[in-house]
Structure 1
Amino acid sequence: MQAMRARRALIPGMLALAVTALTACGKKNEAPAAQTPEVKVVTLKDETVTLDTSLPGRTLPYRIAEVRPQVNGIIQKRLFVEGTDVKQGQQLYQIDPSTYEATAKSAEATLASSKLLAERYGRLVGDEAVSKQQYAEAQASYLQSKAAVDQAHINLRYTRVLAPISGRISRSLVTEGALVTNGQANALATIQQLDPIYVDVTQPSAAILRLRKELSDGKLQGAGANAAKVTLQLEDGSTYAQPGRLEFSEVAVDQSTGSVTLRAVFPNPRNELLPGMFVHARLAEGVRQSAILAPQRGVTRDLKGQPTSLVVNANNEVELRVLKTDRTIGTSWLVTDGLKAGDRVIVEGLQFVRPGAKVKATEATAAQAGAVPASAPAAASAPAAKS
């Protein structure tokens, strides 16, 4: 009887404990409220940018001259140090002058004789002791002898081989004792003027047509004073310290390459640039007003390879925009279609959102906007293909 009463007393407590346990389990199974994802955005604005293009090219000497003999003879001396700078008019070689000295002396003797004869006939022709014909022939002989002396002295002077221009001289292609001749195929050496120095670059004719069309349509404005300014990037990626200027453009398109050659000239006081170096020259194309620059971090590509951006609209919802890009400028893409001033482009938190989702957007810092993710399109110095 007492046991039955005890069991009845326990039942209310057990029921209360069960209710408490069930309540606790119900609270544990409740799903947490969904949180609005936070993203970092960059608000776009109209900007004025100067567009330029990078073109491949090669360096060329400003002037180049081959040192060649103008008379025949044996090289007696080489009078320069190979690979050094020489001055115009500096003697480089000495050709054996003995034959030419003898020829000059003989010509001078002949000149003296013909001069005396011409003077004698000049006195006699008045007395009709000689004919006018004889006097004329004596005069002609004197003039021929005078010309022969001049020619002999010229040839004697040519035995001193001089530098035709100032510049850096190559190695000598002949040694002392070598026989050289006027008109031989091989030069004795080559001199190249390296300061200033030329850079020849090539630009596709299609790019020139596009640029001219954009200028005529008003999409681009002329670069003004910067139009002729050229900067140079060397093979190791460094920038050459001295700016150059554009000299001229070829008037015809190369049929084999479909490109036009442009020539720039650069100061080269320290001879850092050598002929034949591969370089990239950066030339100003023009100025674009109201340009839209989207951070590279906010531009990705879809499965079709199209550039896209996720944009936060006025309702704080995510929109997908398909873009058309022109080129990279610094850490941004120049966008020609798909974005406008005032658009908020997501640059951080892309992996947590999708089109149509509600987000909480805050403005990104400069460091957050400028970082380039691994998935972003690679920067290119030349204009990108229209997407």
Structure 2
Amino acid sequence: MISSDISEQLHYPRPLQAQPNTKMATSIPLFAKAQLDLLLLEHEAEVSTSKLASTTASVSPATRRTLQSTGHALTGLVLSQVRTGLGGRVVGEFAPDPAIASDETRAADGTPRLGSHGIRVGDVVRVNDTGKKKDTKDKSEDKGAEGVVTRTGDRAVWIAFGKQGSGAKKEDDEAVEELWGKKLWAIKLANDVTYRRMRQTMEKMEKMGEGDYSHFMRVAFGHTTPLPRSSEDVEFIDPSLNDSQKDAIRFALGAQDIALIHGPPGTGKTHTLIELILQLVQRKKRILVCGPSNVSVDNIVERLAKTKTPVVRIGHPARLLPSVLDHSLEVLTQTSDAAFAKHGRGVNAEGSMMS
């Protein structure tokens, strides 16, 4: 592995190119198998703690209240409004049911308010009809409508339904329509999207033979030596960079396989990353930027947007900061579709991919 430190507080020797140790090389199939086992344990724990494994629309009112008090549900709702937004998704506004609202839960003007709950923006939820009978023969009716919370307030919660594209799927649209005039509750679901993606990747790696390994995989798992670093003159875009940050950028641009920029908090790693991205864009490179959280990636998008760099933010609009929504894939797709329909032509543009 190649590494560089950007901290002015720490003084390490010049970055050295790692040398492979075949005795320490990691078995890729064994690594993938171990990750699959750990992923399964993690997912099972998430499902069990979500209290949803056996929960259906027909649970008792007492159980629903218990789930709300523990942060897993929100009861006593009615569908008050439906609109289209967030990249073509159907967005439903769910307000407290005025028929069951108590004086304690009403605002000064008499408007019913939601009780305390643990539903947050970005949560995956299922909206069910509390009037479902336990002996219903149509099990599909128990599924309810599933969506992502986009906004919460003391008088309503907003939930987006449907998939990416020019609107919700027919079955999603119909499921939302069926909620009108009914007494509803929303229950938080375990989000298995990330789990499924990681599981599929590890399953693919586990089945790979040595002939299927890319050069990058061989380097990352210690099976081969990284390619020699190249050197080039760099004309820096940001004049405020310090010498340590400039060294890190030169080092990363010269690495042909892997570069690791390391430094304690507050030493300017994100600042350095922005310069590195701009340098790569200037060199006509295609870039995928990933982060450990939505906020970390949104922060990168915000900084790049100020430089007028073409950016596409991948992710559910409900989980993005409002300041980066205009750069989201779904919003850009809707805008492009509208432009195409109006002018009869499309727009081709290359940009950095943010995930």
What is the TM-score of this pair, normalised by structure 1? 0.21
Structure with more of its chain in helix, by fraction: 2
Which structure is larger by alpha-carbon Rg, 1 or 2?
1
Question: Normalising to structure 2: TM-score of the pair?
Answer: 0.22
Q: Which structure is higher in strand share?
A: 1
